[in-house]
Amino acid sequence: MPELPEVEVTRLSFAARIAGAQVLAVYLGKPLRWPLGCEPERLVGREVLRVRRRGKYLLLDLSPAGLLLIHLGMSGSVVFAHGLPPCGKHDHFELTTSLGSLRLNDPRRFGAVVYAQDQDDFVARKLLGRLGVEPLGDGFELAAFAQGLKARSSAIKQVLLGGELVVGVGNIYASEALFLAGIRPTVRASKISKVRAARLHAAVRQVLAEAVAKGGSTLRDFSNAQGEAGHFQLDANVYDRAALPCRVCEAPIRRIVQGQRSTFYCVNCQKP
């Protein structure tokens, strides 16, 4: 599943190129997770002002009004280019503009493209309203993060994945951040001291920033809007390295299942 770094990498790969484009046509393929929410023709003639990100949503601000929220789901990706071939069976949305075509490909159709009047619209608030703070922004403050951990009794890995305290720390990056912080993924969040919370806060920022710099993680078929794969997974310390030696202490990396998701950790480097 594309996580925050992959969505941010996708945004960076086409945001500057589509800014100022006029919408010429809209194509809808098979239904996605949620309906578009407006007649496609209503988007024709509008200008794409900018592309932002909130959590794992791409936000396309339109002029004179309107907002498109794009979610990549489990297997989605977008491409932005001139002269794309005709849409295939897994291409379910295409925004043809004066500067190129933005196409969403999603084999499993868990992604979505949703129209809202603006970010205060009920539809946008329903999708974005419960998201936690952005981990790479100024709003990700240590004091609030530590206080939030104290209020939660679930395992720290599950708290990070939940997205209500901090958004976008997906499965790969939660395992990696907990390794850097030296925290066992099964520890209750409420039991984490201020010192360890500070290490985890810094580790979350570091891991996500490194992932964006390396183009995200391509485990199956992720690529950015220019078709480029990510490379973060090649340097992972623990993720998907079960039974391989820890890069620090050489103990075998362990794998457990938490909430139906694989968790990887080092029993020596990560303390309960």
**For 29-47, how does the pLDDT look when each residue is reduced to its tens digit (9 = 90+)?**
999 999 999 999 999 999 9
> Nearest CA to 1 among 80, 110, 126?
110
Q: What crossing angle do the helices spanning 142-150 and 194-213 adopt, rounded to 10°?
A: 120
**pLDDT band of 195, cuts 50, 70, 90:** very high
List of domains in the chain: 4-128 (3.20.190.10), 142-265 (1.10.8.50)
Alpha helices (runs of H) in 76-229, residue ranges in sequence order: 122-128, 142-150, 156-162, 171-181, 194-213
Is residue 224 predicted with pLDDT exceeding 90? no
Strand, coil or helix: 104: strand
CA-based Rg of the chain, rounded to a whole angstrom?
20
Return d(Cα 160, Cα 211) in angstroms, integer. 17
Sign of the CA dihedral 241, 244, 250, 253?
A: positive
Beta bridge partners of 68: 60, 115
Return d(Cα 136, Cα 148) in angstroms, integer. 17
Strand, coil or helix: 138: coil
> Nearest CA to 172 among 100, 225, 236?
236
Percentage of the chain lying above the pLDDT 90 cut: 89
Question: In Å, what is the CA distance from 208 to each residue of 30, 116, 217, 230, 259?
Answer: 33, 29, 11, 13, 22
Average pLDDT across the chain, whole number: 94
Is residue 221 predicted with pLDDT exceeding 80? no
Is residue 220 predicted with pLDDT exceeding 80? no
Average pLDDT over residues 45-52: 98
Residue 129 contacts by C-beta under 8 Å, 6 or more apart in sequence?
Answer: none
CB crowding 109-140: b at 16 or more within 10 Å, else e: bebbbbbbeebebebbeebbeebbbbbbeeeb
- Give the amino acid at 142: L
Question: In Å, what is the CA distance from 228 to each residue of 5, 145, 150, 216?
Answer: 14, 34, 40, 10
H helix or E strand, kind and range, residue 226 = none
Q: What local confidence, expressed as pLDDT, does residue 228 receive? A: 74
**pLDDT band of 219, cuts 50, 70, 90:** low
Is residue 198 predicted with pLDDT exceeding 80? yes
Average pLDDT over residues 212-231: 74
Q: What local confidence, expressed as pLDDT, does residue 227 receive? A: 75
Question: 28 and 40 in contact (C-beta within 8 Å)?
Answer: yes
Question: 95 and 32 in contact (C-beta within 8 Å)?
Answer: no
Q: pTM score, two decimals?
A: 0.91
Catalogue the active-site residues: 2-3, 56, 261
Q: What local confidence, expressed as pLDDT, does residue 138 receive? A: 94
Q: What local confidence, expressed as pLDDT, does residue 48 receive? A: 98
Strand, coil or helix: 246: coil
Question: In Å, what is the CA distance from 184 to each residue of 76, 154, 169, 201?
Answer: 31, 13, 16, 15
